[in-house]
């Protein structure tokens, strides 16, 4: 019975990863461990801590000055369109040119499918889609 309860708790935590996308790894691990302990005791705490840590390992949102820079960046003359949907946490295709943010080299941006996106330059992983 306890294994079933822990399994349900793990499923709920995994399903809600996007809701906790802006949590840090530490916050995710602590929250997951607490939830797991309530639901499944010591074993639940261990599993919850691991799942919460994974859920919380998403890159924190960029600072507001980076968002503002990307919002105000001029639109390129040539439109970039890709078949793949632009998704937070997924890398942009290699065909998309990303432009570094001059004042914060931890971030870059691209305008793809008429959407402005902030990416991590080394992995090309989408951090935020600006609406």
CA dihedral (69, 71, 72, 75) positive or negative? positive
pLDDT of residue 94: 92
Asked whether residue 113 is domain-assigned, the answer is yes
Instruction: Indicate the pLDDT class of residue 10, thresholds 50, 70 and 90.
Output: very low
Chain position carrying tokens 């609406």: 131
Mean pLDDT, residues 10-37: 48
Count of domains observed in the chain? 1
> What residues form DSSP beta bridges with 116?
111, 130
> Range of 92's domain?
88-130
Mean pLDDT, residues 5-10: 49
pLDDT at 63 over 90: yes
Q: Between the CA of residue 128 and those of 20, 41, 88, 96, 117, what are the distances in Å?
A: 14, 36, 6, 16, 6
Asked whether residue 24 is domain-assigned, the answer is no
- pLDDT tens for 66-105 read 999 999 999 888 889 999 899 999 999 999 999 999 999 9
> What residues form DSSP beta bridges with 60?
none
Asked whether residue 107 is domain-assigned, the answer is yes
Asked whether residue 1 is domain-assigned, the answer is no
Asked whether residue 105 is domain-assigned, the answer is yes
pLDDT at 33 over 70: no
Q: Between the CA of residue 30 and those of 5, 33, 72, 92, what are the distances in Å?
A: 19, 5, 38, 31
């Amino acid at each position: 019975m306890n294994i079933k309860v822990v399994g349900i708790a793990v499923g709920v935590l995994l399903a809600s990863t996007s809701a906790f996308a802006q949590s840090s790894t530490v916050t995710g691990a602590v929250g997951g461990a607490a939830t797991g302990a309530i639901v499944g005791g010591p074993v639940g705490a261990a599993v919850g801590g691991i799942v919460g840590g994974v859920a919380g390992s998403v890159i924190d949102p960029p600072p507001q000055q980076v968002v503002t820079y990307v919002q105000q960046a001029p639109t390129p003359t040539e439109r970039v369109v890709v078949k793949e949907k632009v998704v937070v946490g997924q890398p942009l295709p290699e065909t998309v040119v990303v432009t570094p943010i001059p004042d914060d080299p931890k971030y870059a941006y691209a305008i793809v499918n008429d959407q402005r996106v902030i990416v991590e330059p080394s992995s090309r992983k989408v951090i935020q889609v600006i609406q």
